[in-house]
Amino acid sequence: MTAARTIGGILLALLATGGGAAFAQRQEEAVLPVDLQVLVIARSGGPDVVAISYGQPVTDAQVHEDYQNLARALNHARVTPAIEHTPAQRGLPASVEAQAILSGLVNWQAGQLNLDALLQTFKRYRRVNVVFWFETPFHLRWPRGGGTRGPLRWQLDSADRHSAKYDFWIDQSHGVPRDLPSLRPGGVPWGILIAIGGAALLTGVGVFWVTHRLMRQRAAVAPSGEASDGV
């Protein structure tokens, strides 16, 4: 099974479901072009197929590097992706698709998806679509909904027992982020971190001001105390 056939077959399957209708509608409403599509075919009790479709020109060397970085983030040894080049046809641009076998993106028992590894690997792209296709029913607990953490914004577009589709937008206005905040349940949004840091700074300034004021008062009282000692 080639990467192109894998992606095409699963996306057609998604379009045939209720989640697929939302997927198609979201695709039509999207304003920003999708730079990268990731498809994870998840198998309970076994490794997953991770297929990637690049919306921009990319070399085979870069594809290999992407998969090595992803494998490293998932604590895997080196992987060798299968790469397929599709020439431009019927007004569609040329594309590059790849796939490899990996695991660690789905926690079946906890109902959680490990999106951090994917996002850190592909943080150079402004918009990324990630689709999970579950061969057996999966109860998604996290991440759900949407939100913003630092330069990262995400939205769960659709989800059911066999699929979950996410949109990610990564702010590149200051260049490619060095690191992205975690989407794990324990990850703290950057806004909260900034608020905590601001509160700590204000507290520190307040303590300094009170201490400084007390020291000045003691300095002013000291001469009077010394005079009384001499009487």
In 3D space, the residue among 18, 29, 14, 54 whose CA is nearest the CA of residue 155 turns out to be 29
In this model, does residue 23 exceed pLDDT 50? no
Averaged over 2-25, what is the pLDDT?
49
pLDDT for position 31: 67
Tracing tokens 């577009």 back to the chain, one arrives at 157
pLDDT one-digit tens code per residue, 77-90: 889 999 999 988 88
CA-nearest of 132, 50, 62 to 99 is 50
The residue that leads in pLDDT, 188 or 44, is 44
Is 113 within 8 Å of 143 (Cβ atoms)? Answer: yes
* % of the chain residues with pLDDT over 90: 57
pLDDT for residue 32: 78
pLDDT mean across residues, the chain = 79
Q: For residue 30, what pLDDT is reported?
A: 52
210 phi, psi to nearest 5 deg: -65, -45
Q: Contact at 8 Å (CB) between 108 and 161?
A: no
Give the amino acid at 3: A
Query: Tell me, what's the pLDDT at 169?
Result: 97
| Three-state DSSP string of 135-198 | CCCCCCCECCCEEEECCEEEEEEEEECCEEEEEEEECCECECCCCCCCCCCCCCCHHHHHHHHH
Rounded-to-integer distance, Cα 20 and Cα 12, Å:
8
Higher-pLDDT residue of 165, 14:
165
Contacts of 217 (CB under 8 A, 6+ apart): none
Q: What is the CA 76 to chain-centroid distance, rounded?
A: 19
Residue 11 has pLDDT above 80, yes or no: no
What residues contact 75, with CB distance under 8 A and at least 6 apart? 104
Say what the pLDDT of residue 230 is.
47
Asked if 54 and 124 count as a contact pair (C-beta separation under 8 A), the reply is no
Q: Give the residue from 62, 4, 32, 24 showing the smallest Cα distance to 158.
A: 24
Q: What is the mean pLDDT of residues 185-192?
A: 50
Query: How far are the Cα atoms of 90, 131, 222 from residue 166, in angstroms, in the given order?
Result: 28, 6, 68
Map tokens 């206005």 to a residue: 173
Q: Give me the pLDDT at residue 123, please.
A: 97
Instruction: Name 200's Cβ contacts closer than 8 Å, sequence gap at least 6.
Output: none
Q: Token pair of 164, please? A: 């979950």
Q: 114-168: per-residue pLDDT in tens?
A: 999 999 999 999 999 999 999 999 999 999 999 999 999 999 999 999 999 999 9
pLDDT of 96 strictly over 60: yes
Q: Is the pTM of this model over 0.75?
A: no
Look up residue 86 and give its two tokens.
């599709």
